[in-house]
Structure 1
Amino acid sequence: MSAATPSTAERLHALLRPVLPPDLPIRLRAWDGSEVGPAGAPALVIRDKRALRRVLWQPSQLGLARAWVAGELDVDGDLYEVLLRIASVVWREEKVNAVRLLREAMSLGIVGRQPAPPPEEIVMSGRRHSRGRDRGAISHHYDVSNDFYRLVLGPSMVYSCAYWPSADATVERAQHDKLDLICRKLGLRPGQRMLVVGCGWGSLAVHAARHYGVSVVGVTISREQAELARKRVAEAGLTELVEIRLQDYREIGAERFDAISSVGMAEHVGTATYAEYAAILFHLLRPGGRLLNHQIGARHTSAAATGDKPTFINRYVFPDGELVPLPVTATLIENAGFEIRDVEALRPHYALTLRAWVTNLETHWDEAVTLAGAGRARVWRLYMAACALAFETDRLGVNQILAIRPLPDGHDALPLTRSWLAGTPTAPPAH
């Protein structure tokens, strides 16, 4: 009696064995409906043979990402659970030996020319971190659709780690508390002048002016962000206090500020040019002034991401972005002349924030696809879910560094204790 002919799914399992973990922790479903894997487990669905061709040509994270963005690869079940179960694939950056893949693929009839990458993929050109290339990288990520971002982020339009008073709080409350925490750490008071580097859609600038009476300059190199930020400033009646500029922070020049915030922006700077970034901020800050640098970092050297690797994040999400461990960032900031006075790690807070954003996206999926396209929506869903797990599993961290530009006599107005956290926060939004 001859053995039963393997199903398409079983043959796919054999094909993907060099890519997937050895003990298949999920179900694998082929385009013909056949399945293999543990019953009741979430399924990785291969909708089209082209997905396998992509993996043949790029047997790494990038090949799988291209198939996902193109809609040829999908998940039936909990996306987080699937990503956790195949984490070794999600975070793999190197290629595997393709000889075995090729042999199995020939028998499945999927060998052929490499499919073109989805249009959402970008490969940057020009000198890294030149002003022109940085504008292109920022435009790729942020000039998607302000309405799309509003669906994902919610009314706050804050695109950085929130500060959660409790895990069951709303993301709006958590973002309000984050903005207020920054203002209190900076010791803002009426009459001061504040610079917001990478001001996004203006949320921190508006909060600081409305609740603390400071004069704010916000700079961004995203045209869409600048346009909406100016509109939000006008709607808040704060045009006399807040100026939003479409400007690179390297172009500010001889102006001076009492306080500077940089939130979720320094990840775009790059290690090679970070010393220049820190030196410019030091120059822009008056002696005795405070800097709040809020930045994602790799928790371990092995998880550090540089902008030149052909990964999912670099090609689809943050071109030229770099994540380095906290000690590297702290050293570069202090080498510029700053004195670091406080560091707060917010790793669990970012996991909660990202999960809230994924929920927003999934809840408004059809509208998100209409606004940004199916491929772009799939990019955002995968990247935010994977990053939530990276923060939960200690691969990534996020830290607020409070530093001062020292006065010549060594005295400053910073409290002896962390009393800025004991102050009365402003009232949260009513939603």
Structure 2
Amino acid sequence: MAQQSGDRLISATRSVLTHIHQVLDLQFAFELWDGSLIPADAAPDGLRLGLSQTALTRLLRRPRIKTVIDLYSTGEIDPRGGSLFDFAEKRPRVKSRDLRKRLKKSVLLKNVWPILLGNRSSGARAQEGGLDAGRVADRSSGSRKDDIAFHYDVSNDFYELFLDPRMVYTCAYFRDWSNDLATAQTDKLEMICRKLRLKPGDRLLDIGCGWGALICYAAENYGVTALGVTLAEEQLKLAEERIAERGLQDRVSVELVDYRDLKAQSFDKISSIGMFEAVGLDNYDNYFQSVHRLLKPRGLYLHHAITRRGRKDLKKFRRKKPEYQALVRYIFPGGEVDHIGWTLTNLEAHGFEVHDVEAWREHYARTTRLWAENLEQVREAAIADIGEQKYRLWLAYLTGVSLGFERGSINIFQTVSSRRTKGLSGLPPTREDLYRD
């Protein structure tokens, strides 16, 4: 009886997937749990999507992105014979509503019940979970320490596997698209220092300083005194070690503190590189008020943050697509991004004068692609560190973000502004100094 049920299940699965493959004219194969391929003449070592016995059943029962992610993270959906970028390049260019029109309902109806019923005893109804453990981010306070730790306190060793030697976990700057990651990240640090027009004696605050790359670089190359703040204990430990290794303790320091809790301090320059995404849309007033309070009159502030495309209706803009919700649920709890118009409005409304806005979208597409490729090359070491499920999610996250930047569904800008006062800004008349060799 069990044999007959298994035969019906695999026969029905083959019929459905063969039809889907033909309708979509897919450029990759399906590989079933028994080792058979669809189409049957597909290359056994070619690009193919492995499916477990219960994968299609679960997808039919709960056809949503969370199901796909759960199946992928546990290996029940398994890309083989190439990278996730390879599958993205071969993806079908058809909208879901058009697909529904082209699929033959007779084929689906004939085979759907054997698929749904064939796994009743095989765990297909297992409770859905995931590595997020049901986390629901509380955005009421912004930059919550536990949310930051969820992302950054994985382990320093893990990040070292795919980042550059300086461990810069933000968008690199490619003066040439062929430059390697280490060169591009050093060029990014240099460009930030130039945009802030750092000079000896300046006091620099880096909000969300990561592992201290920028504050160390600025002190060594521009003679500033720098303070970095972070909410991630793992970052703090390594940053302090790197500061000590460079003998910069008299000029560079890192504190485990929320930027809003910094009291009675005043800085000539402030940078915020890739941390604003953790603030939360409802906490922007508090954020910009804090930066304004900490910055000296006519001091420069560099705001480096991911954005989405603006919408005419703010309510529609706040709605999150399923892939966005998945990113927040699995990787970045509490993460939210605005649009560049909202950024500029907030800066002006909170006492800043905007001087420069530069889009770095293609730079981040390249950066995250290199991170994903690096992580794929150290698969075994990464799995040994964080486990296979988390490894798979990180690889999918980096690949997906890279594709998002490539396609323009997300963007990133560097915005330079100053704390407004009456009179002239004191900035050079052109940007020529930013691009000198």
Q: TM-score range with shorter-chain normalisation?
A: 0.7 to 0.9
1:68 corresponds to which of 68, 72, 80? 72
Tell me, yes or no, if the aligned pair for 2:65 and 2:323 is still in contact at 8 Å: no
Q: Tell me the equivalent position of 2:105.
A: none
Q: Tell me the equivalent position of 2:208.
A: 198
2:83 corresponds to which of 78, 81, 85? 78
Deviates more, 1:150-159 or 1:332-341: 332-341
Tell me, yes or no, if the aligned pair for 1:226 and 1:245 is still in contact at 8 Å: yes
Normalising by the residue count of structure 2, what TM-score does the alignment of the two structures yield? 0.85
Tell me, yes or no, if the aligned pair for 1:187 and 1:420 is still in contact at 8 Å: no
Tell me, yes or no, if the aligned pair for 1:308 and 1:314 is still in contact at 8 Å: no
Q: Tell me the equivalent position of 2:129.
A: 117
Corresponding residue SS for 2:205: strand
- Label 1:72 to 1:231 Cα distance change in 2 as closer, same or farther (>3 A): same
Q: Tell me the equivalent position of 1:42.
A: 47
Tell me, yes or no, if the aligned pair for 2:50 and 2:79 is still in contact at 8 Å: yes
CA distance in 1, matches of 2:359, 2:318: 17
How far the C-alpha of 1:72 sits from its partner, in A, is: 1.7
How far the C-alpha of 1:15 sits from its partner, in A, is: 7.2
CA distance in 2, matches of 1:193, 1:9: 70
CA distance in 2, matches of 1:78, 1:126: 31
CA distance in 2, matches of 1:325, 1:270: 13
CA distance in 2, matches of 1:224, 1:19: 46
Q: Which amino acid aligns with 2:85?
A: Y
CA distance in 1, matches of 2:16, 2:299: 61
Which runs of structure 2 are paired with 1:68-217 in the superposition (5 Å)?
Answer: 68-76=72-80, 77-86=82-91, 103=113, 105-109=115-119, 112-118=124-130, 120-125=131-136, 127-130=138-141, 134-217=144-227
Deviates more, 1:311-320 or 1:56-65: 56-65
CA distance in 1, matches of 2:18, 2:151: 31
How far the C-alpha of 1:314 sits from its partner, in A, is: 1.4
Q: Tell me the equivalent position of 1:228.
A: 238
Deviates more, 1:260-269 or 1:245-254: 245-254
CA distance in 2, matches of 1:171, 1:295: 19
Q: Which amino acid aligns with 2:78?
A: D
Give the unaligned 5+ runs of structure 2: 1-6, 97-107
Q: Tell me the equivalent position of 1:364.
A: 378
Tell me, yes or no, if the aligned pair for 1:54 and 1:63 is still in contact at 8 Å: yes
CA distance in 1, matches of 2:181, 2:95: 27
- Label 1:342 to 1:17 Cα distance change in 2 as closer, same or farther (>3 A): farther
CA distance in 1, matches of 2:362, 2:332: 22
Percentage identity across aligned positions?
36
- Label 1:75 to 1:421 Cα distance change in 2 as closer, same or farther (>3 A): same
CA deviation profile, 1:4-26 (whole Å, cap 9, x unmatched): x9883862673799999955453
How far the C-alpha of 1:308 sits from its partner, in A, is: 10
Deviates more, 1:364-373 or 1:303-312: 303-312
Runs of at least 4 residues of structure 1 off by over 6 A? 15-21, 87-91, 99-102, 302-305, 307-310
- Label 1:90 to 1:152 Cα distance change in 2 as closer, same or farther (>3 A): farther
How far the C-alpha of 1:104 sits from its partner, in A, is: 5.7
CA distance in 1, matches of 2:152, 2:94: 27
Q: Tell me the equivalent position of 1:242.
A: 252
Q: Tell me the equivalent position of 1:255.
A: 265
How far the C-alpha of 1:44 sits from its partner, in A, is: 1.6
CA deviation profile, 1:129-151 (whole Å, cap 9, x unmatched): 426x7211111110001011001
Q: Tell me the equivalent position of 2:100.
A: none
- Label 1:21 to 1:139 Cα distance change in 2 as closer, same or farther (>3 A): farther
Q: Tell me the equivalent position of 1:31.
A: 33
Q: Is 1:345 the equivalent of 2:367?
A: no
CA distance in 2, matches of 1:7, 1:216: 64
How far the C-alpha of 1:78 sits from its partner, in A, is: 3.1
How far the C-alpha of 1:173 sits from its partner, in A, is: 0.4
Q: Tell me the equivalent position of 1:272.
A: 282
Which runs of structure 2 are paired with 1:274-289 in the superposition (5 Å)?
Answer: 274-289=284-299
Q: Which amino acid aligns with 2:70?
A: R
CA deviation profile, 1:259-308 (whole Å, cap 9, x unmatched): 11001100111111122211211111111101101111113548877599
CA distance in 2, matches of 1:388, 1:347: 10
CA deviation profile, 1:358-413 (whole Å, cap 9, x unmatched): 12111211111111111111111111111111111111111101111122x22122
CA deviation profile, 1:159-192 (whole Å, cap 9, x unmatched): 0100011111110000000001001000101111
Corresponding residue SS for 2:221: helix
1:387 corresponds to which of 380, 396, 401? 401
How far the C-alpha of 1:206 sits from its partner, in A, is: 0.5
Tell me, yes or no, if the aligned pair for 1:124 and 1:137 is still in contact at 8 Å: no
CA distance in 1, matches of 2:169, 2:17: 40
Corresponding residue SS for 1:311: helix
Q: Tell me the equivalent position of 1:421.
A: 434
How far the C-alpha of 1:216 sits from its partner, in A, is: 0.7
Q: Which amino acid aligns with 1:117?
A: G
Corresponding residue SS for 1:162: coil
CA distance in 1, matches of 2:301, 2:64: 40
Q: Which amino acid aligns with 1:315?
A: R
User: Larger Cα Rg: Structure 1 or Structure 2?
Assistant: 2
Q: Tell me the equivalent position of 2:4.
A: none
Tell me, yes or no, if the aligned pair for 2:270 and 2:300 is still in contact at 8 Å: yes
CA distance in 2, matches of 1:80, 1:303: 28
Aligned length: 410
- Label 1:266 to 1:81 Cα distance change in 2 as closer, same or farther (>3 A): same
- Label 1:88 to 1:59 Cα distance change in 2 as closer, same or farther (>3 A): farther
Deviates more, 1:347-356 or 1:293-302: 293-302
CA distance in 2, matches of 1:253, 1:88: 54
Tell me, yes or no, if the aligned pair for 2:17 and 2:38 is still in contact at 8 Å: no
